[in-house]
Amino acid sequence: MSVIIQVNHLSKQYKKLKAVDDISFTVNQGDVYGFLGQNGAGKSTTIRMLLTLIAPTTGSIELFGMDLKKHRKEILRQVGAVIERPDLYKYLTAYENLSQFARISGAKVSRQKLMEQLEQVGLAERANSKVKTFSQGMKQRLGIAVALIHDPQLIILDEPTNGLDPQGIADVRHLILQLSKQYGKTVLVSSHLLYEIEMTANRMIIIDKGKKVAEGGVKELFDPTKMIIQVSVANIAHVMEQLNNSSWKSYLQEQEQNNLRFQMDEQQVPALATDLVKMGAAITSLQPQHSLEAYFLALTTANRHVDTFTNRVV
Nearest-angstrom CA–CA distance, 191 and 37: 7
pLDDT score at 199 = 87
pLDDT score at 109 = 83
Instruction: Kindly report the pTM of this predicted structure.
Output: 0.77
pLDDT score at 314 = 40
- pLDDT tens digits in sequence order for the chain, 314 residues long: 699 999 999 999 998 889 999 999 999 999 999 999 888 889 999 999 999 999 999 999 999 999 999 999 999 999 999 987 788 999 999 999 999 998 888 878 889 989 988 998 989 999 999 999 999 889 999 999 999 888 899 999 999 988 888 888 888 899 999 999 988 999 999 998 888 888 899 999 999 889 998 888 887 777 767 788 889 999 999 999 999 999 999 999 888 899 998 988 888 999 999 999 999 999 999 988 776 666 676 666 544 444 443 444 44
Nearest-angstrom CA–CA distance, 19 and 209: 7
pLDDT score at 300 = 61
**HEC letters along the chain:** CCEEEEEEEEEEEECCEEEEEEEEEEEECCCEEEEECCCCCCHHHHHHHHCCCCCCCEEEEEECCEECCCCHHHHHCCEEEEECCCCCCCCCEHHHHHHHHHHHHCCCCCHHHHHHHHHHCCCHHHCCCEHHHCCHHHHHHHHHHHHCCCCCCEEEEECCCCCCCHHHHHHHHHHHHHHHHCCCCEEEEEECCHHHHHHHCCEEEEEECCEEEEEEEHHHHCCHHHEEEEEEECCHHHHHHHHCCCHHHHHEEEEECCEEEEEECHHHHHHHHHHHHHCCCCEEEEEEECHHHHHHHHHHCCCCCEECCCCEEC
Instruction: Note every long-range contact of 52-60, with CB atoms under 8 Å and residues 24 or more positions apart, other chains counting.
Output: 52/76, 54/12, 56/10, 56/11, 56/12, 56/20, 57/11, 57/12, 57/13, 58/9, 58/10, 58/11, 59/7, 59/8, 59/9, 59/10, 59/11, 59/22, 59/23, 59/24, 60/7, 60/8, 60/9, 60/10
Closest among 169, 149, 167, 146 to 159, alpha carbons compared: 169
Nearest-angstrom CA–CA distance, 245 and 181: 50
pLDDT score at 292 = 67
pLDDT score at 291 = 64
Kindly list the distances between the CA atom of residue 50 and the CA atoms of 24, 75, 83, 178, 291, in Å, as whole numbers in the listed order.
12, 10, 12, 23, 30
The backbone region for 159, taken as left when phi is positive above 0, alpha when psi lies in -120 to 50, beta otherwise, is: left
Q: Which domains occur in the chain, in start order?
A: 3-216 (3.40.50.300), 224-289 (3.30.70.790)
pLDDT score at 164 = 85
Sign of dihedral through CA atoms 238, 240, 246, 247? Answer: positive
The alpha carbon of 253 is separated from its chain's Cα centroid by a whole number of angstroms, namely 29
pLDDT score at 120 = 86
The backbone region for 99, taken as left when phi is positive above 0, alpha when psi lies in -120 to 50, beta otherwise, is: alpha
